[in-house]
């Protein structure tokens, strides 16, 4: 407003001056022109005195504390012509006064700079807002509440993902310690409590791995409201383990039966059958392997003994055959002699041939059988009589 008055006054002076000069040249009355010029000059001088030369901003306190909620009210004064801004934001004024409400977010002091402006002229005033002790205590308590709330949330989330009695108790303790009731937490905790027996039944089925425990857990999981799909997958895995366990037990029983048969009748056939059954076992069996190895050693011993017996028998047969051939040669030589003495039936050291089961003794190999040499006395002592073909 003052600027407008000053502008009109300036224009009035110019117009008055022009009219005064014109009146002088035309020799007309100059009174009106001089009055206009004088009035305009006086008005401009008054507006000049009334118009401020610089902006003004006054804040009573250079430092102020917040209340227990972190809020402070800043009060200041300025002139009507000044505009007040804070960080570029205009502050409303009324009759040269202004107020500003500030709320701290933490326990750190905050400096605010208010700027009063008139045209291109500025004046700044800075005030520091400090947190009060009550507000710092409030922040600490709130921080502790947030930490407690976070711990409760973590414990509850764990209990929901793994609803065991231990996790439920931990979550319940955390939630109870909260200063403010959390209805959502209470509701979620109740759901965890309902699922604890279900989760424990699944764990028991995994530990025991029996059909009865799996069936019982499956019936409970049908009512689960937490992690139902995961629990069903775990029970499926348990059932697969039970099936594999039963199969393995049958394989072990079959392998044990084959080993026992090989131990009772150690033959190559029984040994090979037992080895095949043991190889079918998923993880082998040390005990059965050791037992079948003993059977293998028994077979090796038997084969060695049989080999020795066969060699001894073959040697005996060769010796008997040789003796029989010698006896036959002697008989043939005796037959070519003109006078052949009668058989010595009194046992004068004559050598004859005998068989293990025959009732006769011979002077040559007579028919099939295993012949061994013996003295006549030994043959007669066994009750053997002369062969009618040989004698």
CATH assignment of the domain containing 97 = 2.60.40.10
**Assigned domain for 110 exists:** yes
Query: Taking the CB of residue 172, how many other CB atoms lie within 10 A of it?
Result: 19
Answer yes or no: do 34 and 89 share one domain: no
**Assigned domain for 262 exists:** no
pLDDT at 135: 95
Q: Which residue has the higher pLDDT, 350 or 223?
A: 223
Answer yes or no: do 33 and 67 share one domain: no
Answer yes or no: do 154 and 91 share one domain: no
pLDDT at 7: 63
**Does 274 have pLDDT greater than 70?**
yes
Answer yes or no: do 163 and 201 share one domain: yes
Q: Which residue has the higher pLDDT, 32 or 184?
A: 184
**Assigned domain for 285 exists:** no
Answer yes or no: do 125 and 198 share one domain: no
Q: At which of 109, 131, 153 does a domain end?
A: 131
126 neighbors 116 (Cβ within 8 angstroms): no
**Assigned domain for 276 exists:** no
- Two tokens, residue 30: 């100059």
**Assigned domain for 321 exists:** no
Looking at the structure of the chain, the number of domains it has is 4
Answer yes or no: do 149 and 222 share one domain: yes
What is the model's pTM?
A: 0.50
**Assigned domain for 353 exists:** yes
**Assigned domain for 270 exists:** no
**Assigned domain for 209 exists:** yes
pLDDT (tens digit per residue) in 336-365: 544 444 444 444 568 888 888 878 888 887
171 neighbors 192 (Cβ within 8 angstroms): yes
Can you tell me the mean pLDDT for 239-248? Answer: 94
pLDDT (tens digit per residue) in 108-122: 999 999 999 998 899
User: How far, rounded to the nearest angstrom, does the alpha carbon of residue 267 sit from its chain's CA centroid?
Assistant: 52
Answer yes or no: do 107 and 122 share one domain: yes
Find the length of the chain: 391
List the domain range (segments joined by +) for residue 34: 2-50
Please compute Rg for the chain using Cα positions: 65
Measured CA to CA, the distance from residue 82 to residue 93 in angstroms comes to: 9
Answer yes or no: do 169 and 222 share one domain: yes
Q: At which of 111, 131, 151 does a domain end?
A: 131
Measured CA to CA, the distance from residue 65 to residue 33 in angstroms comes to: 63
Answer yes or no: do 27 and 64 share one domain: no
- Name, in order, each residue with C-beta under 8 angstroms of 288's C-beta and a sequence gap of 6 or more: 252, 255, 256, 259, 274, 278
- Two tokens, residue 346: 């009194």
217 neighbors 202 (Cβ within 8 angstroms): yes
Answer yes or no: do 206 and 144 share one domain: yes
- Percentage of the chain modeled with pLDDT above 70: 82
- What DSSP designation does 106 have? S
Q: At which of 226, 260, 285 does a domain end?
A: 226
- What DSSP designation does 68 have? T
- Name, in order, each residue with C-beta under 8 angstroms of 52's C-beta and a sequence gap of 6 or more: 79, 81, 82, 118
Laid out side by side, the sheet with 71-78 consists of: 57-59, 71-78, 97-103
């Amino acid at each position: 407003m003052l600027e407008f008055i000053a502008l009109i006054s300036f224009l009035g002076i110019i117009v008055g001056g022009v009219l005064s000069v014109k009146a002088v040249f035309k020799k007309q009355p100059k009174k009106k022109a001089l009055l206009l010029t004088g009035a305009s000059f006086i008005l401009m001088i008054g507006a000049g005195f009334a118009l401020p030369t610089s902006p003004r901003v006054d804040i009573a306190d250079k430092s102020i504390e917040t209340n227990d909620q972190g809020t402070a009210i800043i009060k200041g004064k300025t002139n009507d012509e000044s505009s007040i801004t804070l960080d570029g934001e205009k502050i409303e004024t009324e009759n040269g006064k202004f107020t500003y409400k500030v709320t701290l977010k933490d326990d750190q002091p905050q400096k605010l700079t208010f700027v009063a402006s008139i045209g291109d002229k500025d004046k700044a005033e800075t005030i520091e807002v400090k947190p009060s002790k009550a507000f710092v205590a409030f922040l600490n308590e709130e921080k502790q509440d947030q930490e407690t709330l976070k711990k409760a949330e973590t414990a509850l989330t764990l209990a929901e993902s793994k609803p065991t009695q231990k996790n439920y108790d931990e979550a319940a303790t955390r939630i109870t310690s909260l200063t403010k009731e959390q209805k959502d937490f209470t509701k979620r905790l109740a759901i965890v409590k309902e699922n604890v027996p279900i989760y424990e039944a699944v764990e028991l089925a995994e530990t025991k791995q029996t059909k009865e425990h799996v069936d019982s857990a499956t019936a409970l999981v049908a009512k689960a409201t937490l992690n139902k799909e995961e629990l069903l997958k775990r029970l499926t895995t348990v059932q697969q383990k039970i099936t594999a366990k039963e199969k393995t037990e049958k394989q072990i029983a079959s392998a044990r039966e084959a080993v026992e048969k090989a131990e009772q009748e150690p033959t190559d056939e029984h040994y090979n059958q037992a080895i095949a059954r043991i190889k079918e076992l998923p993880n082998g069996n040390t005990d059965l392997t050791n037992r079948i190895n003993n059977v293998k050693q028994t077979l090796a011993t038997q084969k060695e003994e049989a080999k020795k017996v066969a060699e001894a028998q073959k040697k005996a047969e060769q010796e008997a055959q040789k003796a029989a051939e010698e006896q036959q040669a002697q008989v043939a030589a005796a037959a070519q002699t003109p006078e052949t003495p009668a058989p010595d039936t009194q046992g004068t050291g004559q050598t004859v041939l005998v068989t293990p089961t025959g009732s006769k003794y011979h002077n040559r190999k007579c028919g099939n059988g295993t012949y061994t040499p013996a003295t006549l006395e030994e043959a007669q002592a066994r009750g053997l009589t002369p062969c009618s073909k040989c004698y």
